[in-house]
């Protein structure tokens, strides 16, 4: 600890950056990370999932207002889910074989970006057996159902049905610790 001020490892790399570059790095940290991540996800077609990778936008959801859905939407979504998704993701969203659970972990996977990212992925890649088969309304209904199953309470404002509008809201904060896969 004697020479900490001289040789602190954290200061070494900083001297290699100009002040401008450093500021840009700090301000754009999340953005840069997303840019670096995006090619990593898309550049290895040999290992990509058959329906294409999960690509998230570089927008952080931190400053977006929480999304709202109605109970009617979630009810319709539950029906569509039963028909189009339950065969793989399970009747209680718990997942099966290589189809992941759509509760709990899903929040961590998607809540750092706008809700439009999840909507776009779902709409384009799911159902895995016939990707893109559902309408925008059906996908929004199912998304409302997924929010419901992840502990988000229904509200008065319906969930929008376009990726653009869903890109302006975030996954509402929920206590993931209280969720168990497929159960509440």
Angle between helices 71-84 and 136-149 (to 10 degrees): 100
Residue of 38, 55, 92, 128 interacting with ligand HEC (CB under 6 A): 128
Scan residues 91-110 and list those touching ligand HEC (CB under 6 A).
Answer: 98-100, 102, 105-106, 109
Report the run of H or E that residue 121 belongs to, with start and end: helix 115-125
Closer Cβ to ligand HEC, 68 or 149, answer by number: 149
Residues 6+ apart with CB under 8 A from 168: 64, 65, 114, 116
For the CB of residue 155, give the shortest distance to ligand HEC in the complex, in Å.
Answer: 21
Answer for which of 64, 88, 154, 176 binds ligand HEC (CB under 6 A) is 88
Q: Among residues 181, 172, 177, 129, which one has the least CA distance to residue 153?
A: 172
Q: Is 85 in the site for ligand HEC (CB under 6 A)?
A: yes
26 φ, ψ to 5°? -70, -45
Cβ proximity to ligand HEC: between 102 and 169 the closer is 102
Residue 67 binds to ligand HEC (criterion: CB under 6 A): no
Q: Is 159 in the site for ligand HEC (CB under 6 A)?
A: no
Q: Decide: is 129 part of the binding site for ligand HEC (CB under 6 A).
A: yes
Q: How many residues sit close enough to ligand HEC to count as binding (CB under 6 A)? A: 21
State the Cα–Cα distance between residues 53 and 8, nearest whole angstrom: 40
Q: Which is nearer to ligand HEC, 88 or 165 (CB)?
A: 88
Residue 170 DSSP label: B
In the complex with ligand HEC, the residue whose CB is nearer, 74 or 142, is 142
> What's 58's DSSP letter?
S
What is the smallest separation between the CB atom of 70 and ligand HEC, expressed in angstroms? Answer: 18
The set of long-range contacts for 121-126, using a CB threshold of 8 Å and a minimum separation of 24, is 121/54, 121/55, 123/163, 124/51, 124/52, 125/49, 125/51, 125/52, 125/54, 126/51, 126/84, 126/85
Residues making contact with ligand HEC (CB under 6 A): 49, 54, 84-85, 87-89, 98-100, 102, 105-106, 109, 122, 126-129, 134, 142
């Amino acid at each position: 600890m004697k020479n900490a001020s001289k040789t602190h490892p954290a200061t070494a790399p900083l001297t290699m950056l100009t002040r401008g570059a450093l500021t840009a790095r700090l301000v754009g940290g999340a953005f840069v990370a997303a840019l670096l991540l995006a090619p990593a996800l898309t550049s290895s077609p040999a290992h990509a999932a058959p329906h294409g990778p999960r690509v998230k936008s570089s927008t952080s959801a931190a400053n977006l207002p929480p999304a709202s859905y109605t109970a009617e939407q979630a009810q319709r979504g539950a029906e569509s889910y039963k028909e189009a998704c339950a065969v793989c993701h399970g009747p209680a969203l718990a997942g099966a074989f290589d189809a992941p659970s759509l509760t709990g972990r899903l929040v961590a996977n998607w809540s750092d970006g706008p809700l439009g990212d999840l909507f776009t992925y779902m709409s384009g890649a799911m159902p895995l057996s016939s990707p893109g088969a559902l309408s925008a309304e059906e996908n929004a209904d199912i998304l409302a159902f997924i929010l419901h199953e992840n502990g988000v309470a229904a509200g008065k404002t319906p969930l929008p049905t376009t990726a653009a509008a869903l890109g302006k809201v975030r996954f509402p904060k929920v206590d993931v610790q209280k969720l168990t896969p497929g159960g509440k």
